[in-house]
Amino acid sequence: MLPRVLSLGVRRGPLTRRPGTLRGGFSLGKVVDDRWYCGSGVRPTSGCVPFRTRNRAPHWQDSGSAWGRGYKYWEEKLSEIKKKIQSVLPGTSLHPLYDSSHLPPDHSDVVIVGGGVLGLSVAYWLKKLEKQRGALRVLVVERDLTYSQASSALSLGGIHQQFSLPENIHLSLFSASFLRNINEHLAVVDAPPLDLQFNPLGYLWLASEKDAAAMENNVKVQRQEGAKVCLMSPDQLRNKFPWINTEGVALASYGMEDEGWFDPWCLLQGLRRKVQSMGVLFCQGEVTRFVSSSDRMLTKNQKEVKLKRIYEVHVKMDNSVEYQPVECALVINAAGAWSAQIAALAGIGKGPPDTLQGTKLPVEPRKRYVYVWHCPQGPGLESPLVADTSGTYFRREGLGSNYLGGRSPTEEEEPDPENLEVDHDFFQDKVWPHLAQRVPAFETLKVQNAWAGYYDYNTFDQNGVVGPHPLVVNMFFATGFSGHGLQQAPGVGRAVAEMILEGRFQTINLDSFLFSRFYLGEKIQEDNII
């Protein structure tokens, strides 16, 4: 068995090295140079090895001539030659004895942490907008390729443009046109076309007296930005939808076009199939560590700022201690409900509070329940997704009088996001009374099924975080959308890809969604969140 040795970390910074690491070599405490162009021509310094050797003495301690150096010296020389060959032929795994096909590659230009709809959308747009075919090497790392806990797969799949922020409206409009032409965007040779099962019935938001003015303002903004929304009075509402009880409703806004719901699993699989055909590599594993280098720089006011750059991502395999260090140039945090953990690994939030270093990513997982019930006398085929004044929402599913719905709990009632167990009492106590009050036909219903999923809830202002971090300069965020990530995924993916490839947002300006707003305290509150 050939002992595999690692080369030294002479050129690496020691700043984030944990004690007792199994990697060999000393470090000299030198600040490293720019490692931006990781993907091309840089001597790789780690091998695709399943096992790590013990600490060994650095080679300059061997004295004497080459011939006197012995077995260890030649071993090291051989591995250096192998690495040189490997760097010329990227992508080959020179391990005839071990099967390393489950491991990610040694280096990748972009590593996307999280393989949900946002991560896949970023991967798709990166490959679509890159200047030369094959210019970017993209790796998507997903912890659970069955998507059993992924928010994208468990989502209700709704899309609407009734937001209060113009950027959100534009993102949704773009996503609607993306979904409409999905078979042109995500076409793969010899694969069947995608059937999203889109239901264009729209969203109906109900507002009580106190919210009516805000709703009218929002509708004005929405119409200005191009969304087709109409306002309805309680009388018009009763005419159109006789099954609604309009008590307590002062105004309603109804989306006429480009709104509805679709099958998120189909979108996920379609994106996955397409990005695989475009050459994006997938890996099932968990990101456990970021190795970064840092630079101390002085601002205009002579204050010291430490800028970090991640140059290696450690991807740990399932049920094993085996991990693969992937050299990378960019990291994209699209980990959804678990984005805060990934950010903490990169050192975001480690510092005194009220400083930029100490600002954590305020995204946390929040559990939301969805219930399926059957009600034979319920609203007819034409019922839209109704979002009540109390936060309860429901929609019809299929031809068989089945309905899906739920309610976002208030801050005090937030369930523990430890697991995805469903609390049926929540339906009995908190959801059903509001449903029955709004739609009298729902007084008799029978719950057939229920599930729970996570929102990647942004506790700051319930809007997404997009763009680079000011201090960890090569980590980009695409997370924190608090329940409307699925409907904005195509637009956000394109925005992140533009930021990476062009340096700025080109089509939709998401400057107000950058991370720095958490430090500056600039909230961009979104009202219409269910």
Partner 1 sequence: MAAPWRSLRLVAPIGNRSTRGIHQLGGAVDPESSQKKRRTMLQYLSDHFYDVEFLRGYFLQNKMDKVHQKNRFRDKEWIRPDKYGHFSQEFWNFSEVPVEAVDASDCAINYEGLENLHLLKELQSLSLQRCPHMDDWCLSRLYPLADSLQELSLAGCPRISERGLACLHHLQNLRRLDISNLPSVSNPGLTQILVEEMLPNCKVVGVNLAEGLKLGPEEQPQDTDRPIPA
Residues that bind partner 1 (CB under 8 A): 180, 197-202, 256-258, 260, 380-382, 399
Q: How far is the CB of 257 from partner 1 (least distance, A)?
A: 6
Distance of CA 384 to the CA centre of its chain: 28
What's the gap between Cα 390 and its chain centre?
29
Q: Can you say whether residue 451 is alpha, beta or left, with left for phi > 0 and alpha for psi between -120 and 50 degrees?
A: beta
E-state strands within 429-480? 446-458, 465-468, 475-479
Closest distance to partner 1 from the beta carbon of 327 (Å): 44
Q: Who's near 135: CB < 8 A, 6+ residues apart?
A: none
Minimum CB separation of residue 177 from partner 1 in Å reads 9
Closer residue to partner 1, CB minimum distance, 164 or 383: 383
Q: 484 burial class (0-12, 13-18, 19+ CB within 10 angstroms)? A: buried
**Looking at beta carbons only, is 187 or 344 nearer to partner 1?**
187
299 exposure class (CB count in 10 Å sphere: 0-12, 13-18, 19+): exposed
Q: What is d(CA 116, CA 489) in angstroms, rounded to the nearest whole number? A: 10
- With respect to partner 1, which residue has the nearer C-beta, 200 or 391? 200
Q: Report the alpha-carbon distance of residue 159 to residue 161 in Å, rounded.
A: 7
SS3 state of residue 234: helix
- Nearer to partner 1 by Cβ, of 382 and 502: the residue is 382
Phi and psi at residue 207, in whole multiples of 5°? -125, 140
State in angstroms the smallest separation of the CB of 372 from partner 1.
18
CB of 387 to partner 1, least distance (A): 18
Q: Which is nearer to partner 1, 183 or 288 (CB)?
A: 183
Beta carbon nearer to partner 1, 128 or 180: 180
Q: Determine the Cα–Cα distance for residues 115 and 284; give it in Å rounded to an integer.
A: 9
Side-chain-side CA neighbours of residue 521 (13 Å):
2
The nearest distance, CB 383 to partner 1, in angstroms, is: 9
Nearer to partner 1, 183 or 459 (CB): 183
Nearest distance, CB of residue 306 and partner 1, angstroms: 51
